[in-house]
Amino acid sequence: MGKIILEKNAYSFDQILKGNWEEGDTYFNEALHFCQSWLQGQDSFLLQTSGSTGIPKTITVDRIQMENSATATRKFFRMAKNPRLLCCLNTQMIAGKMMLVRAMMWDADLILTKPKENPLEEELVDGEFDLVAMVPMQVASCLSQNPSLQKLRKIKTLLIGGAPSPKSLLELVSKENISAFQTYGMTETVSHIALAKIAGTELVYETLPGVTIGIDLDKRLWIEAPMSKEKRLQTNDLVDIVDEKHFMWIGRSDFTINSGGFKIQPENLESQIAPTIEAYYGKVEFFLFGLDDEKLGQKLVLVIESNRTDNEKAGKLLYSISDLVHKYQIPKEVIFVKEFVKTPSGKINKSETIKSAK
């Protein structure tokens, strides 16, 4: 029978069901209480959305949705019996909770660690895992340190999600031959409904078994899936449909910037200019945003997380960017913010960050 392994203790699912564990750290305790509720047959759970595109909200997710998601993922990867898993994501959010659910449904051995920038630094974590899920920041940190990189290479399947991976990260993952997939999903679909094998910078997503996709008149993706409560879930994601099981993600329609009649997808543009920004400012966080403008309707601005405002360097950066993109894609201004506002799941809250800069 599978078990959950913590920093100092290991508990079988039978022990967790009966509540036979040592009460200790609050984070681990809450995760074990969730597992106990699941093992006792609880039918619904309250989860908080990430808040990356609006105000975070609490939604109710049914047990059957989570079961369907875990089953579809197992079929997609043809997961062997009694796999070994690592959960290094926040178990208060859907991605972390689903790692716990997979462990219980797959009768797996799961190592549970607190979320940190480099989860492979932990002595308990050796890299010999069948499945691990991380956010892009964690993967980048693991790639930057040789001991962690060696562990990363041992992972049979690495899921990267929570946010789009920068082009530079996709290139590194491919170069190091890491067996990794970019995920596509949301809290409403209890984790991913599609996965893209990372082999270069062009990602083509393949849907999980049982998932049907299509687009509306505005090319926004809709989903019909056994892991979704809604019969048809309409998203704000702009996609190109390749065939009935594959699509390419373009960006979010609600992030589209209309500047002087030109429509700009900031996510695509961000990946283009990322190496140039790194050349000037190092590995800083940044994003593109559309501010209201009387002449253009919206003007494109570049927002960089930095304690220093250097207008001369910013001017040189914009000049360099002008060599890479169309003239209407050149930011009209660079805004420096000391610290970006983040959502509970660690994503950048762009609207609140812009407000904090004013």
Percent of the chain with pLDDT over 70: 97
In eight-state DSSP terms, residue 152 is H
Report whether pLDDT(65) > 50: yes
Same fold across 3-252 and 256-357: no
> Residue 207 in contact with residue 213, Cβ under 8 Å?
yes
- CATH number (3.30.465.10, 3.40.50.720, 3.40.50.12780, 3.40.50.2300) of 3-252 reads 3.40.50.12780
Mean pLDDT of 217-238: 93
Distance CA 139, CA 152 (A): 8
**3 state SS of 1:** coil
Q: Is 41 exposed, middle or buried (0-12, 13-18, 19+ CB in 10 A)?
A: exposed
Phi/psi at 271 (5° precision): -70, -30
Q: 252-274: per-residue pLDDT in tens?
A: 888 888 888 788 889 889 989 99
Q: What is the mean pLDDT of the chain?
A: 91
pTM (2 d.p.) = 0.82
What's the full length of the chain, in residues? 358
Query: Domain 256-357 is of which CATH architecture?
Result: 2-Layer Sandwich (3.30)
Percent of the chain with pLDDT over 90: 69
Report whether pLDDT(55) > 70: no
Per residue in 260-288, is it b (16+ CB within 10 Å) or e — as a string? Answer: eeeebbbbbbbbebbebbeeebeeebbbb
Mean pLDDT of 191-197: 97
Per-domain boundaries in the chain = 3-252, 256-357
